């Protein structure tokens, strides 16, 4: 079967750049949207040029120019959107709705992957404010995609490892302490940690796979379904030292929220649902979903222990 041509929107972003690389690595003709708005952002421009050197095609297109998006979409079979989440808040809805309109008008797209890549928003209608905005926004996009009859795959990739493993699951930290850690309650709630490059690799695998058409794909590497306590144990083994442990209760955590920036408050709510409620692991995948490691057992994913070696 011929491999689909892919357009990545948001290709210079944290997860987007990995999508570009994975798409090229898996032999897809890969197009990356180059927005004129990035102007003289030298880092982005250099990154785009490096994609070109690796074989990608840069396509000029702007969210302010509907026809340019339609033209970009017409070049490909699959569109992957990886634009940012909370820091551009309602922007994300607006921008993605524009992309959905362009895909609808172009009429040629066999698969659209909206910017999801986290907790399954369909299971988060109970989420607390203000963090629920992430899930509510993503549901608005899902509804628009489905209403437009666009074939889709939703990627529920669970946690980007760097965000949680780096801080031993503590908000506000990206490098693990060698001294101490604060546990969420007893620290025994399970979460799912996924290497960001693996997320991209599994995502690209799904795009030509009929088993993932109009499904949610959950990425649940079996060895990476761990509690915070287990993550800490792995770290302790790597550094050969036991950390001092204290604990924060659910009530204390909730009352500590406030006085932060909007983006920080949103993130705190996500930590709450993941680390106290166990929202990533407290359900079985149903008829609407499939699991990536079962679909692609040939992929050797990065384990939490392997990932954490970089911090030693």
For ligand NDP, give the closer residue by CB, 157 or 212.
157
For ligand NDP, give the closer residue by CB, 181 or 274.
274
For ligand NDP, give the closer residue by CB, 91 or 142.
91
Chain centroid to Cα 87, Å, comes to 14
Contact in structure between 73 and 101 (CB atoms under 8 Å) = no
Please report how close the Cβ of residue 87 comes to ligand NDP at its closest, in angstroms: 6
Residue facing ligand NDP at closest CB distance: 13
For ligand NDP, give the closer residue by CB, 88 or 299.
88
Task: Determine, following the binding rule CB under 6 A, whether residue 35 of this chain makes contact with ligand NDP.
Answer: yes
Site for ligand NDP in 247-286 (CB under 6 A): none
Q: 89-106 vs 132-147: helix axis angle to the nearest 10?
A: 10
Binding mask 156-195 for ligand NDP (x = CB under 6 A): -x-xx--x--------------------------------
Site for ligand NDP in 72-131 (CB under 6 A): 82-85, 88, 91, 95, 115-118
Q: Peptide bond preceding 265: is omega within 30 degrees of 0, i.e. cis?
A: no
Stretch that binds ligand NDP, among 9-17, 216-224, 258-266, 276-284 (CB under 6 A): 9-17
d(CA 219, CA 224): 10
User: If binding means CB under 6 A, how many residues of this protein chain bind ligand NDP?
Assistant: 28
Sheet holding 225-227, edge to edge: 159-160, 190-194, 225-227
Please report how close the Cβ of residue 187 comes to ligand NDP at its closest, in angstroms: 19
d(CA 48, CA 26): 19
For ligand NDP, give the closer residue by CB, 57 or 239.
57
Catalytic residue, from 17, 138, 205, 215: name it.
138
Applying CB under 6 A, which of residues 4, 5, 14, 213 lies at the interface with ligand NDP?
14
For ligand NDP, give the closer residue by CB, 134 or 228.
134
Stretch that binds ligand NDP, among 4-12, 64-72, 179-187, 211-219 (CB under 6 A): 4-12
Site for ligand NDP in 127-156 (CB under 6 A): 134
Active site residue 309: no
Please report how close the Cβ of residue 57 comes to ligand NDP at its closest, in angstroms: 15
Please report how close the Cβ of residue 292 comes to ligand NDP at its closest, in angstroms: 14
Q: Kindly list the catalytic residues.
A: 138
Q: Which residues bind ligand NDP (CB under 6 A)?
A: 10-16, 33, 35, 38, 44, 63, 82-85, 88, 91, 95, 115-118, 134, 157, 159-160, 163
């Amino acid at each position: 079967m011929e491999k689909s041509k892919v357009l990545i929107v948001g290709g210079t972003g944290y997860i987007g750049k990995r999508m570009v690389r994975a798409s090229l690595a898996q032999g897809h003709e890969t197009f990356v949207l180059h927005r004129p708005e990035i102007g003289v952002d030298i880092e982005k421009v250099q990154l785009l040029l490096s994609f070109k050197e690796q074989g990608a095609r840069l396509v000029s297109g702007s969210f302010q120019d509907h026809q340019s998006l339609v033209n970009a979409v017409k070049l490909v079979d699959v569109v992957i959107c990886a634009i940012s989440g909370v820091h551009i808040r309602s922007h994300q809805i607006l921008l993605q709705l524009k992309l959905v309109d362009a895909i609808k008008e172009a009429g040629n797209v066999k698969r659209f992957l909206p910017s999801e890549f986290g907790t399954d928003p369909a299971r988060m209608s109970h989420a607390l404010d203000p963090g629920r905005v992430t899930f509510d926004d993503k549901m608005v996009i899902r509804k628009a995609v489905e209403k437009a009859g666009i074939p889709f795959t939703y990627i529920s990739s669970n946690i980007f490892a760097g965000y949680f493993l780096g801080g031993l699951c503590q908000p506000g930290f990206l490098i693990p302490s060698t001294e101490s850690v604060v546990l969420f309650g007893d620290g025994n709630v399970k979460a799912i940690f996924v290497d960001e490059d693996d997320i991209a690799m599994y995502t690209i695998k799904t795009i030509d796979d009929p088993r993932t058409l109009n499904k949610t794909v959950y990425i649940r590497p079996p060895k990476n379904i761990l509690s915070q306590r287990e993550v800490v144990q792995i770290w302790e083994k790597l550094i050969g030292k036991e950390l001092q442990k204290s604990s924060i209760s659910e009530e204390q955590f909730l009352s500590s929220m406030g006085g932060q920036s909007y983006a920080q408050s949103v993130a705190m709510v996500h930590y709450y649902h993941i680390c106290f409620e166990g929202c990533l692991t407290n359900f079985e995948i149903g008829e609407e979903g499939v699991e990536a490691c079962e679909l692609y057992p040939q992929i050797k994913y990065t384990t939490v222990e392997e990932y954490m070696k970089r911090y030693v």
